[in-house]
Amino acid sequence: MEEDPVITFTINDELCRRAGLTAKWINGHQLSVAAYNPITSTTKDRVSDFAGQNEVNIFHLTTEFIFEEPILRCLIAEANGVYLAVQDLKRQGTQSDYVKISRTYRSIIRACLEKLEEEISNEEISEEVKIRFQNYITIFYSIECVWHLCEILYIDTAPSNIVVPQLLEWTRFHFPSYERIATELLLYEREANTSEDYWPTVKGLILQGQIEVARAILQLHSLSETTAFKMAEQILKTMPVYNVYGGLSIQKFRSQWHYWLTDTELKLSAGILSSEPELEEIVKLITGNQYSWNQQIKQSTCWYEFLSGYLFYTEPACKYFELGSFANLWINRWANEMGFTGSGFLKQLDRVILSVMENDMNQVLHSIQKIGDNQWFVTHLTDLLYHCGQLQVMGEQKKNIAFSLRDALLYEFGSALMSRDSLWMMGVDYLEQCSEGAAAMELLLTKVPVENERQALKVIEVAKQRGLSSVEREICRVQATRSMANERYGNALEWAIRSKDAGAVTAITDFFLTNYSKTGEMLCPDVLGNIGGKMFISPRLVFLVKYFDFHQFYKRREFIEAAKLLVNLLNSKITPEYFWPSLLIDSIPLLESKDPKMPSKETFVILQHLEMELTPLIERSKKQMEKAGDKQPHILKDYRMENIDEIVKLIRLACARNLARAIVIENTFIS
């Protein structure tokens, strides 16, 4: 993670070149840029010199979203599970709980790094992909390194606040080259010292504070039984090492350590190791000899590689609040020996490590946001530190703004995930924890790309779980429209009913009724037969369902029930105007039946609706058509009869015949 270079984007736009630019953030990852001529208080009030000369274009600059890569998508999915476990603790977990969670995060990062390295070793992938994967490795190695150090200093803190033992472990983990070579040397046994890596490895182990491994390597030397080697072994073996849980007070340890240090320096002054210069150099290093350390500093790859080892030999009881001072002294010494001046030699990772050691949390969080990981690291680290009570971020008013900072980071990261087709569900988990998350989800869930009904149902399920009824209605409306376009009319009606949008239901119901009046085909009878109580969402749907029931009675030859239902529909006042001809034509077979199915009272009702509803409607329709230049009222048609006047005549005739039969029967008394 090197210092971020200055990146220049070329916008090929003539108007932008001549007038200037303005930009505005759309979200945390997208910048909108357009041509702009600034207006000031001294600008003359006249038409701009650039008006109407060129098209005004708007350009969107977007940062790369790295988690579309399958390997990194796996990382973000696993980390999401850990993040949810953190939320379940509700800031009431123990220190061991949070340490375990932090290590789980790091193990996920380590697994991702191993997968990336494995992919790079694959000869089948292109050079371009290898370079991209190498960049990912650099990013996530830096994340792992900083996270591990934060875990040591802020989460897995020792009761006495002494940090050197854990810093040694941090160094060993992130600079494993000496330990790796030592493992190979241990396989040589007595021939180990013949390797040219022998002494550099021993010194490297000493510089990293790995005394026990260094002793094991020294015992493999062919001269390990000599007096000088035995004396060196004794010095290394008797060196006091502070153990937090050893029951020894810091004062008692310091006394023992100073006694051992004085005794060892006297032995060096006496020249007991002068016959073995390499051994003498090693012992000088463990006594903190300034000259010896200055010589070895030059072998380090970065400023903090040997810092923990130096503290181990010179300030073994260093506490975390003292670490920043020692780190600054060491970095100045390291820069002087390496020949660096100023601060430009520090890479971005170097600066972040220094900020962590200085306990400058504001600077740490500011710096790690520059890592090209779409703010995954800063979001999850901030959330974890907040939950374990270790997030202290001071705002302009000298108040701790930890909550609002975490809230803002979760909001930005969750919104970024919601904009991705394959990651939106994880985005919901982050927005749920924000104060403005519900409003954001209500807006963003409706924009989730839905390719099929399974995906639509998933979005609806997520919305229902969070009480976002408006999202459910909007998704259902969209699905209803899509189903209508695909001629899946029954499905469209079901989605419209589910949306609880009376207007959408009415529109689709009108399509059903219009189609029937034109073709005589009742669409989707299985759907209409199972609507039940849901029909009351729209009066038009009530009419359609009852009209469908009328046809079912008719098919089952239950003519009396069919006639009653037909009269009820006529009286219901919910009959669409365009459907009056079809509804009244349906009465003709019942009226013409030799065995009267309609009493005289109901027959008069039909005649009443014919004269009060259909006839005025026909007159209005004719006037409209005449104005439009068409003498045929096409608006009122039925598939069974083209001429509306003929429909009226047939209905009147049928009513007259049925009245004659019904009156005779109703007035005939059987004695």
Query: pLDDT tens, 297-340?
Result: 989 999 999 999 999 999 998 998 999 999 999 999 999 999 88
Say what the pLDDT of residue 669 is.
56
Model confidence at 622, pLDDT cuts 50, 70, 90, reads confident
Residue 265 exposed, middle or buried by CB count within 10 Å (0-12, 13-18, 19+)? middle
Helical (H) or strand (E) element with 99: helix 95-120
Average confidence (pLDDT) over 188-195 = 80
Q: Please tell me the predicted confidence (pLDDT) of residue 31.
A: 85
Q: What is the predicted pLDDT for the residue at 175?
A: 94
What are the phi and psi torsion angles at 26 (to 5°)?
Answer: -80, -45
Q: What is the phi/psi pair of residue 35, to 5°?
A: -70, 145
CB atoms within 10 A of CB 368: 25
Q: How confident is the model over 51-84, as pLDDT tens digits?
A: 767 778 888 888 788 999 999 999 999 999 999 9
Give the mean model confidence (pLDDT) for residues 137-157: 95
- Reported as half-sphere exposure (CB side, CA atoms, 13 A), residue 117 has a value of 10
pLDDT at res. 633: 47
Residues 614, 580: contact at Cβ < 8 Å?
yes
CA gap 287, 262 in Å, rounded: 9
- The pTM of the full predicted model, rounded to 2 decimals, is 0.83
pLDDT in tens, 115-132: 999 999 988 889 999 999
| Burial of 220: CB neighbours in 10 Å, binned 0-12, 13-18, 19+ | middle
Amino acid identity of residue 255, one-letter, is S
Give long-range contacts, CB 8 A cutoff, 24+ apart: 429-432. Answer: 429/80, 429/83, 429/84, 430/83, 430/379, 432/466
**HEC readout, 264-278:** HHHHHHCCCCCCCHH
pLDDT in tens, 533-569: 999 999 999 999 999 999 999 999 999 999 999 999 9
91 pLDDT band, cuts 50/70/90, is confident
Show the tokens assigned to 627.
């104005």
Q: Would you state the structure tokens that stand for residue 139, as one six-digit string?
A: 């990013």
Enumerate long-range contacts of 529-535, CB under 8 Å, 24 or more apart: 531/497, 534/497
Q: How far apart are CA 592 and CA 586, in angstroms?
A: 11
- Minimal CA–CA distance to 143: which of 116, 178, 118, 179? 116
Phi, psi of 221 (to 5 degrees): -65, 145
Compute the distance between CA of residue 580 and CA of residue 615 in angstroms, rounded to an integer: 10
Question: Do residues 161 and 320 lie in contact, with contact meaning Cβ atoms separated by under 8 Å?
Answer: yes
CA–CA dist 575, 580 (Å, integer): 7
**pLDDT more than 70, % of the chain:** 93
User: pLDDT category, 167, cuts 50, 70, 90?
Assistant: very high
The DSSP output letter for 632 is S
Closest to 153 (Cα-Cα) out of 374, 352, 377: 352
Tokens at residue 44, please?
């003359």
Instruction: Tally DSSP H helices, then E strands, for the chain.
Output: 32, 3
Q: What residues contact residue 281 under an 8 Å CB cut-off, 6+ apart?
A: 203, 292
The pLDDT value given to residue 671: 43
Give Cα separations from 114 to 110, 127, 141 (angstroms).
Answer: 6, 19, 11
2 pLDDT above the threshold of 60: no
Are the beta carbons of 428 and 410 closer than 8 angstroms? no
By the 8 A CB rule, do 119 and 71 touch? yes
Nearest Cα to 188, choosing from 225, 210, 217? 217
**Angstrom distance (rounded) from CA 203 to CA 206:** 5
- The strand pairing partners of 34, in sequence order, are 22, 58
Whole-angstrom Cα distance, residue 241 to residue 209?
11
Which residue has better confidence, 278 or 640? 278
How many angstroms separate the CA atoms of 256 and 251, rounded?
9
Q: Is 231 exposed, middle or buried (0-12, 13-18, 19+ CB in 10 A)?
A: middle
For 240, other C-beta atoms within 10 Å of its C-beta total 17
| Angle between helix 424-431 and helix 453-465 axes, rounded to 10 deg | 10
pLDDT, tens digit, 9 for 90 and up, residues 219-243: 999 888 999 999 999 999 999 888 7
Phi, psi of 31 (to 5 degrees): -115, 130
Q: In what order do the strands lie in the sheet with 30-35?
A: 21-27, 30-35, 58-62
Pick from 536, 567, 537, 566: nearest CA to 552: 566
How deeply is 298 buried, as exposed, middle or buried, from its count of CB atoms within 10 A (0-12, 13-18, 19+)?
A: exposed
